[in-house]
């Protein structure tokens, strides 16, 4: 990337905006700011940002409505900010098309890790990735083969589909609903036990210690996240 990525901050709290702006500029990212949903949506067209950070608690519009509108207008990565009391809203925003979330309060390390994963996802979807690697896990996406420490692991078609979705979103959370819908179809979006069973099987095959997974991470109450190597 030749120019610094531009991030649109939609957040009504001036203190949080200041914190975001400062920690993002330390990392070489530029920002533009909006203090409500309406002006945020307007800036999407006027500023052409590369990514949006959206607070769910805005004075003029519901965060989920803003998410839906952003999704209608663009494919930009959306990172939502939510308060602990907004657990359900957070999940709804993810299902409405937001890509990942941070729960307030968060530190700049966490913020940066999320943004890196989101930007990487954008870069990855442009190129045609054939091999996914994290730690000892290697997945050949062309031949649909999975290896752990160079040993091939046999996985079932359903396990492979689950794994494939998580890899496509590597580093980014994928909600229970998204996974259930993509693998089993819309009529099964409430069958969370499917996920527990199949993720359990996958962990037994891929993780050194399935009880303390390193690759297939649980986001309690939200979904799963494929870990990525920090060193890149």
Task: Establish whether the linkage from the previous residue to 105 is cis, with ω within 30° of 0.
Answer: yes
By C-beta, is 43 or 195 nearer to Ca ion?
43
Rank residues 57 and 135 by Cβ distance to Ca ion and give the closer one: 57
Cβ at position 228, least distance to Ca ion in Å: 29
Pairing assessment for the beta strands 6-10 and 30-34 based on DSSP bridges: parallel
Q: 52-71: which residues touch Ca ion (CB under 5 A)?
A: 55, 57
Q: Rounded to whole angstroms, how far apart are CA atoms 84 and 19?
A: 19
CB of 105 to Ca ion, least distance (A): 13
**Minimum CB distance to Ca ion smaller for 67 or for 155:** 67
Task: Give the footprint of Ca ion on residues 1-30 (CB under 5 A).
Answer: 12-13
Query: CA-CA distance, 223 to 171, in Å (whole number)?
Result: 12
Residues 84 and 218: beta-carbon distance below 8 Å: no
| Residue closer to Ca ion (CB basis): 23 or 178 | 23
How far out from the chain centre does Cα 209 lie? 24
Cβ 63 to Ca ion shortest distance, Å: 9
Q: Which residues bind Ca ion (CB under 5 A)?
A: 12-13, 55, 57
């Amino acid at each position: 990337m030749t120019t610094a990525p531009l991030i649109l901050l939609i957040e009504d709290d001036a203190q949080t905006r200041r914190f975001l702006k400062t920690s993002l500029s330390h990392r070489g990212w530029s920002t533009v700011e909006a203090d409500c949903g309406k002006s945020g949506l307007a800036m999407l067209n006027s500023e052409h940002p590369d990514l949006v950070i959206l607070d769910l608690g805005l004075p003029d519009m519901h965060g989920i409505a803003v998410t839906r509108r952003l999704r209608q207008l663009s494919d930009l990565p959306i990172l939502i900010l939510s308060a602990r009391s907004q657990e359900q809203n957070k999940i709804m925003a993810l299902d409405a098309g937001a890509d990942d979330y941070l729960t307030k309060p968060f530190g700049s390390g966490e913020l940066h890790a999320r943004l890196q994963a989101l930007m990487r996802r954008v870069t990855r979807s442009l190129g045609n990735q054939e091999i996914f690697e994290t730690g000892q896990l290697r997945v050949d996406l062309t031949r649909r083969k999975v290896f752990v420490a160079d040993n091939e692991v046999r996985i079932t078609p359903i396990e492979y589909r689950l794994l494939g979705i998580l890899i496509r979103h590597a580093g980014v959370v994928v909600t229970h609903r998204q996974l259930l819908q993509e693998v089993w179809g819309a009529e099964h979006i409430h069958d969370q036990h499917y996920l527990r069973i199949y993720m359990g099987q996958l962990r037994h095959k891929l993780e050194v210690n399935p009880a303390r997974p390193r690759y297939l991470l649980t986001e309690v109450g939200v979904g799963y996240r494929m870990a990525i190597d920090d060193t890149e």
